[in-house]
Chain A
Amino acid sequence: MSEHDPSDPISLHRRRLLQGMAVLPFTGLPGLSFGAAPPTAKVNTTGLAVTDTTVTVGQLHSATGTMAISETGSIQAEQLAIDQINAMGGVLGRQIKVIKEDGASDWPTFAEKARKLLVNDKVGTVFGCWTSASRKAVLPVFEKENGMLYYPTFYEGLEQSKNVIYTGQEATQQIIWGLDWANQTKKAKTFFLIGSDYIWPRTSNKIARKHIEQHLKGLVVGEEYYPLGHTNFNSLINKIKLRKPDCIYAVVVGGSNVSFYKQLKAAGITSAKQFLLTISVTEDELLGIGGENADGFYACMKYFQSLNNPNNAAFVKAFKAKYGPKAVIGDVTQAAYLGPWLWKAACEKAGSFDIDKIAAASPGIELKTAPEGYVKIHPNHHLWSKARIGQIQKDGQFKVVAESPSLIEPDPFPKGYQ
């Protein structure tokens, strides 16, 4: 019906007729805000929820359900960044208002709420999602309704969208350099790959296996997956003992982590006897695992709370001031913190809140104040970032023992690893 000129009487008639036939939903089309003040009309040409003084954004995470454990840190970090931006005067002179929606760890709910945020609330951007499954569920919605999503989690790659900025690492940024380090520094030649059974661990291990076999000329002596939430790893541990790998490469996520490390320790596999590298344990997970249970093992991330630089010192201080002295900050929490800042930078570079202009302006944006140091948006909408190796300490923090010499280029579709 929208191909008709609305002033065309026939079309009007038809429209009314259609309304009678229950097509009311179509009348809420954007572009009717003629009474808006000039500046708003200039920075907002697509009918987003922007007024002369405020801009509304959405936040879409799981506050309930199994994923709430992981997503709480991201919710807090995004809120902190938004508060700080508002205190500095907001974005393009407008204060940020947040609409929070709960995805409830349920993928269709994520899709439903994403649609609500974009269609009903007309938010300027959305900070949200955590798991790959939730991102996959909302991605078609964001592409269809032309919204913008800042996605914080390190993930499996194999994706690139105009409507998403990935502030976490894609798989190769986290895996390859870490494996090289294990191979060179720890002389690891044989690897046992362990993962929770879903797409990120499986894809990560696929990349790891290719790298180990083709580039390191090493050997993968085992590759195992356990259902999410699995709590009994004794048989697996016996298999590890049987195969005696130089390196256990662990991509176990969520609550399973706690059982995994407790049982490793109980079976006598400690850092004194065994080298273990993980890409799925951050300070957040260590809260549950307990530093003493994983003491001495290594993790490869782009950010650790113990990172020593002025940006990070200020960030940690502000985070603890807001959420209490016991709060910890993991890799994803930091990546989530980058989201609002990157969005602010993009809006200011574009001079507009329009999604298309932000998407076009994003590549090349630098953030010198990032807690992880310095980041830059790649044309593929991922971030250039460093990789770092941290060693788990008894107090649940990491000691940074190695750092990639330069920023690693994001490559979501790595050639030779697919």
Chain B
Amino acid sequence: MASQTEAAVRPTTNKEKSTTNPLKSNVVVGSLLPVTLIIIWELASRGGFVEPHLLPAPTTVVEEVITMAQEGELWGHIWITLYRVFTGFLLGTGAAILLGAATGYIKIVERILDPMLQALRAIPSLAWVPLFILWLGIGETSKITLVAVGVFFPVYLNLTSGIQGVDRKLIEVGRMYHFTALQQIKRIILPASLPSFLVGLRSGLSLGWMFVVAAELLGASEGLGYLMVFGQNTSAPELVIASILLFAIFGKITDEILKRIQTRTLKWQDNMENAS
């Protein structure tokens, strides 16, 4: 029965694309500016145009990283920071899923819970720090809690709005099949709110990185944030820049992981990115 005209809309495969390899050329084009800037920076430092005790040359920064890595002290700092981000991320996401799902799905919970959470959201993140330190001490707990608070809100907000934004027309399809509430959630509401949830996860993660810096700047004895404070106190700008560099690298890697997950699970979405 399929007519010729309809069969003609069969989409072309993506294989044709890879011959031109847009990724490769994108990488080249995208690196042009930063590479040029780094070269200028290096030349300026070597030529003595900038004070090395304020802005050390890129090679000095890289050397610093390599030395610390070889001496082994760097790994401890990286590990503890990653541990704080991930534990906080997991806790914040877990709490956001529980509360966000309840708020999105059950009207009465929304009316009770949402106004309070929205009010708490208005508190600037750093305002929590003294309280958390007072309550939870200067150990890991207060830092992880701070990260979790940062992660919580974007995930919560996106999940709630994702659930509430599920197309009524799709829900009606489920009702035609007499789905139970649980089946509705599992088979329609969850997959339909997934895009919004993943957006929440990504902004949650980036806030998590921001909050871990805050936590480590304000009272830590190890971690990448602590290295920055240490570099500041010992007038070692290469240490500060190295820490910034490492934050950037790890932030980018973790975001890239989430982005890959997002692209893979949402390949059904009809949007610009998936246009063939």
Q: Do A and B come from one complex?
A: no
B residues bordering A, Cβ < 8 Å? Answer: none
